[in-house]
Amino acid sequence: MIFHEIYGNYYRTVAEILDAALKEEISDKTIWKIVKEKAFAESSLTIPKELSEKGKWPLLNEERRAVIHRKTSMPLTIMEKRWLKALLADPRIALFQPDQTGLEDVEPLFQPKDIVLFDQFADGDPYGDETYTKIFRQILSAVKKKNSIRVLYPLKNGTEKWIKCNPVRLEYSLRDDKFRLISVYKGRINTISVSKIIQCETVGSFRTAKIKKEVHDKRNVELLVKDERQALERVMMQFSIYQKATERIEENSYRITLTYEAEDEIDLMIQILSFGTSLKVAGPEAFVEQIKNRLEMQKRCGH
């Protein structure tokens, strides 16, 4: 076991409460706030009660102070450090320049070559390329600082074009093994593959209120899953990045409601179609029609 339960949400939540109660009395309001931010909704009913003198974990005295005298500490085990070192060897993670302090002398648990990926295109982004890395980090910095950028990228006719846009976020496609820049250009959502960008320049800041409204257009799609050959498990893994609600409707049949953003719709359709007959779209009708149109188009193309 790489991660033990004592490193989970509940223990970290209690640790933060105790740290806050080391030097002064902690109020119910502060405890509730920490629980809300760090744990799960139902935890607000159990953690505050159990930390009292009469609870199962009497770690707060009658003065609402921590019974411990030192700040809590949960150091990583050697196995956890080796696992983290292995993750940090991934060239995609390296793009984000993570802090590796404390892992200098640690042997990774495994190497990137030890991982075999299925259902992924082989022409992923050139993560080791210096120009790609520089552009990626320029975009990432602009997203964090809310700066507008100018990017130069090739058009289908062989020419190149500069556009000024407001970067909203970077997205990664596991299927394509590519990063995409989601931005707002001339009031519309614009998606560009990072690997296609030739140059990038920062040109100033932008206002975020309108951007959020334009980009985060939430939509729902209802899926019916027939759980054969571990279809449910595969669906849950494939759509793990989406907010979802799952309901069992009969033996081996489930209804899943996915929430996605408008600009992800085409990619979502492609993923749904990859499951074949084990996954059916129940609604909304507009989404069903688009799925039918795509199937008809594939049929005409001979796929």
User: For every residue of 179-236, which 3-state class applies, written as one string?
Assistant: EEEEEEECCEEEEEEHHHCCEEEEEEECCCHHHHHHHCCEEEEEEEEECCCCHHHHHH
CATH architecture of 217-300: 2-Layer Sandwich (3.30)
- Cα angle value 247/263/193 (rounded, 5°): 125
CA dihedral 204, 91, 241, 151 (to 10 degrees): 30
Q: Give the list of residues 6+ apart from residue 289 with CB closer than 8 angstroms, or none.
A: none
Using a cut of 0.85, tell me whether the model's pTM lies above it.
no
Instruction: Identify each DSSP E strand in the chain by its residue range.
Output: 147-154, 160-173, 178-185, 188-193, 199-205, 218-226, 243-250, 253-261, 279-283
Q: Which CATH class is domain 130-214?
A: mainly beta
pLDDT tens track, the chain, 303 positions: 555 555 577 888 889 899 999 888 998 889 888 888 877 666 767 888 888 888 888 888 888 888 888 888 878 888 889 999 999 999 999 999 999 999 999 999 998 888 877 767 788 999 999 999 999 999 999 999 999 999 999 998 999 999 999 998 998 987 789 999 999 888 888 889 999 999 999 998 876 655 655 555 789 999 999 888 788 888 888 888 888 888 888 888 899 999 988 878 888 888 888 888 888 999 899 999 988 888 888 777 765
Q: How many angstroms separate the CA atoms of 260 and 283, rounded?
A: 14
Do residues 48 and 54 lie in contact, with contact meaning Cβ atoms separated by under 8 Å?
Answer: no
In this structure, what token pair is assigned to residue 265? 């719709």
Q: Sketch the domain layout of the chain as residue ranges.
A: 1-74, 78-114, 130-214, 217-300
Answer yes or no: same fold for 130-214 and 217-300: no
Q: How many angstroms separate the CA atoms of 104 and 79, rounded?
A: 14
